[in-house]
Amino acid sequence: MVLVDTSIWISLYRKGNAEIGEKLWALAAANQAAVCGQVWVEFLGGFRRVSERREHATSLKSFPFLLSEKRAFEMAANLLADHPQMGPGDAIIAATAIATNSVLFTLDKGFRAFESKGLRLY
């Protein structure tokens, strides 16, 4: 499974990046692209208009949803303690990917800091 980070969704929304779009839709066609709670909150929380938020929520609902279990939150706390510059949201996303044995599809180079902790990047 490939956890699609907020940076990918924002890039597609703002720029309509064709290369990223092709990669995402190939993953989606193989039912390999997933979202998690933190990505859901970060992406949808950026839309102030309810109609836009609902429209994008409908799109995200078509992707598998990875749950962040207690173990992922415990791991996120440790990741954050070791790399506070990343912030709690990114620590939760990284920990969710690690805990679910998923690969993270992101544009955020800061996630490389978590590779030594088991994070695999797409």
10-59 pLDDT per residue, tens: 999 887 778 999 999 999 999 999 999 999 999 999 999 999 999 999 99
What is the span of the domain harbouring residue 44? 2-112
**36 near 3, Cβ under 8 Å?**
yes
Please check whether residue 63 lies inside any domain of the structure: yes
Please check whether residue 77 lies inside any domain of the structure: yes
Please check whether residue 32 lies inside any domain of the structure: yes
Q: Structural domain tally of the chain? A: 1
d(CA 103, CA 98): 8
The model's pLDDT over 100-109, given as tens digits with 9 standing for 90+, comes to 999 999 999 9
Please check whether residue 118 lies inside any domain of the structure: no
Please check whether residue 6 lies inside any domain of the structure: yes
Q: What is the mean pLDDT of residues 92-98?
A: 98
DSSP 2: E
Please check whether residue 40 lies inside any domain of the structure: yes
The model's pLDDT over 76-89, given as tens digits with 9 standing for 90+, comes to 999 999 999 999 99
CATH at 11: 3.40.50.1010
Torsion of CA 120, 28, 61, 17, to 10 degrees: 80
Q: What is the pLDDT of residue 17?
A: 78
Please check whether residue 81 lies inside any domain of the structure: yes
**119 near 98, Cβ under 8 Å?**
yes
Please check whether residue 122 lies inside any domain of the structure: no
Task: For residue 8, name the pLDDT band (cuts at 50, 70, 90).
Answer: very high
Q: What is the pLDDT of residue 103?
A: 98
User: What are residue 116's phi and psi, to 5 degrees?
Assistant: -70, -15
